[in-house]
Structure 1
């Protein structure tokens, strides 16, 4: 994945070459007269006046390149603040004329180090100093300069993401992710929206480098900002594959159910993994509905032996499974604990009988003797099936432990559904 492909170093360098240069020697008199900026107070010392005059004469001649050694010689001297600023401005101006980025960098750094750069220009100068350092592979220097520019209010040229990249280049992934998060927050605070690539970059770095706990956080950020079906699939897949400890079969089923709701299933693997998690022997109705949907959408091949065998097994179990539900409900009501109620609720949920499923999940929770977080997840999903959004969010908010992140994803999807930004749900398939 390419990051910040729209960010062109060439453009940045060109911009550096055309920075407005105030208080150049030939403008000093006019600036002083106006008294509108700090640069108007800059005075050339008598010690360097002859050198400045020679540089100006060479720059104004037919071969301005002859001024370069004169400028470099001036920069190399131990100069007072005003003189260093003047030398830096001359280097920027000449570097721009000659398209000499190394000379521009020297001039920008000299201007910054002089302490005489105006408050208006300083953020830009700091950025281009950091940008030069980044281009030169001096990433620690780039981190410092770019952060200074960011703190001074500079927000152009994707600076926040560039700071993060400077850390990533040194494998300082936690620091880079923290910098990228600051960049996202700064964009949000300004009323803007960070590019989708920034979120994808954060998620990719977190997953690839096993940054503890960060992959789920960054995939959540991605789908929160850009809730497309593709991003929901990427977010949930990344979360599933990077979960530590690994998701249990039931937890994976809860995640895959959300992937289906978000219309984010598109590959054979998605359908087959979902079917395996549901298990045609345990939840035959849900497996039938799922695979028939995949066939109808063309996402799974009808020629697949897995599809043929799994569908046959599930279809063969549906009648007897449905016939047993009445007795299971009665047993659940009589039982002193919630185990039968939980299992029966799972079965009813698989058939889309959400109201009965919700009631049995609530019974299982109140009677106890079950994994409460699992029952709360089932309850939340059953409430989603009935479009009882507030009740669903309340159930998901009660989930703790390893399922908490999955519950948070479900709650996010509900919020997007309410806001009209969620991807459309797939059309239901009869089972």
Structure 2
């Protein structure tokens, strides 16, 4: 009998790993941890033979005493490793997770295995506890696996599952961010499913970085859907004022991300609230053209009838109004009407005139300049203006900067 010619460890106690983690088959994972051959010390050999024999015969009553006897004479890392190995075989056969944890600790601390091999053992232990719904201990095992081998991708993924199952959503979000950052640093583009999950967890847990995580998703996978969802998160987290709603809605329109009639209607109502009926009409007409607003529907009756009664400014009206404008805000709002007409260069001219005048928030003026220049195709000029936005509108400016980098 070849007592110490080690074959693949039978980690059968890992019956299944968390589905999302895509764990290796337990046998394959165990094989990676098993040395080709382990030779014990002469002093410990008799005791180890007795221990192995008891395990093979399933003489569970005598195993604890055999383990203690072997531990008393163990003097080398090989001795300690083999004791742990036989402990593990006994634990597997008896479906004893606590004993398996003790055995793996003995094997990992023996000094016989490398860090990556020990990491795989703890990863398997994490799967064991996960399947037993002992999620806190599963978390601990995966953390240990990663402390030994931070590049253990399977353990990284499974730790997230364990955190979620343990109800530790904030910790799961942080772990997920570490995975995303590691893959990005390695020059790998994270899967969109990974980013979307990070967004969902960050939003659900009200994480301080929820808006930033949403921007990460759009940056990697810009689409009307990702823009719409990311800006919805911005809206729900930041609760923008009327100015913010208009500027956010402009971005939704620019990215073809308005998905519903209420989004077009909200844009139109916000513009009308600041008496910008040109832009309100633009938003309403865009909703009708996209078949998102039904002009005869009761939900939009205030817009369909109200906007008809409002006079829209012409270019000539705006030129005349510019001559008599008495305040910086009046100039800013005239610029907004030029923006609605698509005359972005004229809009920028008015925004710059408004800049620095009493009552005009410099960040708002810079944001509007950046938006108009972005729509005009002046990316360099837009970036300069958007970089200068601070405070309340800084997050929205970052979204517009993202538009600059993703727009064709």
Taking structure 1 as the reference length, what is the TM-score of the superposition?
0.77
Q: Which residue of 1 aligns with 2:240?
A: 247
Distance 2:149 2:68 in 1: 31
Task: Name the SS of the counterpart of 2:115 in structure 1.
Answer: coil
Distance 1:22 1:220 in 2: 46
Distance 2:245 2:160 in 1: 32
Superposition pairs for residues 37-186 of structure 1, below 5 Å? 45-46=44-45, 48-55=47-54, 58=57, 66=58, 74=66, 79=71, 80=74, 82-90=78-86, 102=97, 107-153=103-149, 155-156=151-152, 158-186=154-182
RMSD of Structure 2 on Structure 1 (CA): 3.3
Q: Which residue of 2 aligns with 1:28?
A: 38
Task: Quickly say closer, same or farther: Cα 1:369–1:301, change in 2 above 3 A.
Answer: closer
Task: Name the SS of the counterpart of 1:28 in structure 2.
Answer: coil
Distance 1:57 1:14 in 2: 19
Q: Which residue of 2 aligns with 1:204?
A: 200
Distance 2:177 2:67 in 1: 38
Distance 1:283 1:295 in 2: 19
Distance 1:128 1:171 in 2: 21
Q: Which residue of 1 aligns with 2:12?
A: none
* Contact 2:48/2:82, CA 8 A, preserved across alignment: no
Distance 1:119 1:158 in 2: 15
Q: Does 1:214 align with 2:209?
A: yes
- The runs of 5 or more residues in structure 2 that have no matched partner are 1-17
Q: Which residue of 1 aligns with 2:277?
A: 284
* Contact 1:71/1:87, CA 8 A, preserved across alignment: no
Distance 1:385 1:125 in 2: 56
Q: Does 1:313 align with 2:309?
A: no
* Contact 1:139/1:166, CA 8 A, preserved across alignment: yes
> Alpha-carbon deviation of 1:410?
0.8
CA deviation profile, 1:251-300 (whole Å, cap 9, x unmatched): 11111211221221111222222222222772223233323322333233
> Alpha-carbon deviation of 1:239?
1.4
Q: Does 1:354 align with 2:344?
A: yes
Task: Quickly say closer, same or farther: Cα 1:338–1:15, change in 2 above 3 A.
Answer: same
How many equivalent pairs are there? 386
> Alpha-carbon deviation of 1:146?
2.1
Distance 1:68 1:166 in 2: 32
> Alpha-carbon deviation of 1:133?
3.3
* Contact 1:43/1:82, CA 8 A, preserved across alignment: no
* Contact 1:17/1:95, CA 8 A, preserved across alignment: no
Task: Quickly say closer, same or farther: Cα 1:56–1:100, change in 2 above 3 A.
Answer: closer
* Contact 2:295/2:301, CA 8 A, preserved across alignment: yes
> Alpha-carbon deviation of 1:310?
1.1
Range moving further from structure 2, 48-57 or 355-364: 48-57
Superposition pairs for residues 379-390 of structure 1, below 5 Å? 379-390=369-380
Q: Which residue of 1 aligns with 2:261?
A: 268
* Contact 1:127/1:145, CA 8 A, preserved across alignment: yes
> Alpha-carbon deviation of 1:320?
4.9
Distance 1:186 1:416 in 2: 23
Task: Name the SS of the counterpart of 2:226 in structure 1.
Answer: helix
Distance 2:52 2:89 in 1: 15
* Contact 1:373/1:400, CA 8 A, preserved across alignment: yes
Distance 2:68 2:130 in 1: 23
> Alpha-carbon deviation of 1:413?
1.6
Distance 2:69 2:372 in 1: 76
